[in-house]
């Protein structure tokens, strides 16, 4: 007697923009249940944008990440919780010294369930008083994602001695390890 093949997991996609995609990719790839994280561009008008076009601030795109995740291991709501913890959702078109619409805080939802979860998460964050200013994160229907150039992928892990990585990304990774230890993959150290 042969066993029936087990069903394939039903993965979901989340698309988030929280400033520089080097930072967000480095954070989210360390979470249990995250299958892959791809840096790229979304939310703009230019088809197949280049990094130079996006970084000029004139393409309309945000630097973003697209996360493939297993919702039986990590929920969309938990991804949002991490998202709020590792960037400042109260500054419009800016994260630290990175300034311009390409660094805006945005959630690009893929379903009505994600839309509702994003709105509820923002309302809860605002009500918590965690930030003195209101959340300005855009919640926008996902349309198209363009993968970033190869040299942007795994940037942090490939360039950890880079001063940007040490000054900007390392503190986000330390915060992730301090606040979300139970959600980390076993194979990732700082």
Q: Hey, which residues are catalytic here? A: 20
Closest CA to 175 of 8, 24, 5, 4: 24
DSSP β-bridge partners for residue 37: 67
Tokens 């360039």 sit at which residue? 159
Q: Which two tokens stand for residue 107?
A: 């959630």
Residue found under tokens 């330390």: 174
| β-pair type (105-109, 138-141) | parallel
């Amino acid at each position: 007697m042969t066993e029936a093949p087990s069903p394939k997991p039903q993965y979901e996609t989340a698309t988030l923009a929280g400033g520089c995609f080097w930072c967000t990719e480095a954070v989210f790839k360390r979470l249990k249940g995250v299958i892959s994280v791809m840096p790229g561009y979304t939310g703009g008008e230019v088809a197949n944008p280049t990094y130079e076009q996006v970084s000029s601030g004139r393409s309309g795109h945000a630097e973003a990440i697209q996360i493939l995740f297993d919702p039986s291991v990590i929920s969309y709501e938990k991804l949002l919780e991490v998202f709020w913890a590792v960037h400042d959702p109260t500054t419009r078109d800016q994260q630290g010294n990175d300034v311009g619409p390409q660094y805006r805080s945005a959630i690009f939802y893929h379903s009505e369930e994600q839309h509702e979860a994003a709105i509820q998460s923002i309302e809860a964050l605002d009500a918590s008083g965690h930030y003195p200013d209101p959340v300005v994160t855009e919640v926008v229907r996902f349309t198209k994602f363009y993968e970033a150039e190869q040299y942007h992928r795994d940037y942090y892990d490939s360039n950890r001695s880079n001063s940007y990585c040490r000054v900007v990304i390392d503190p986000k990774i330390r915060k992730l390890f301090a606040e979300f230890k139970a959600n980390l993959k076993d194979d990732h150290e700082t």
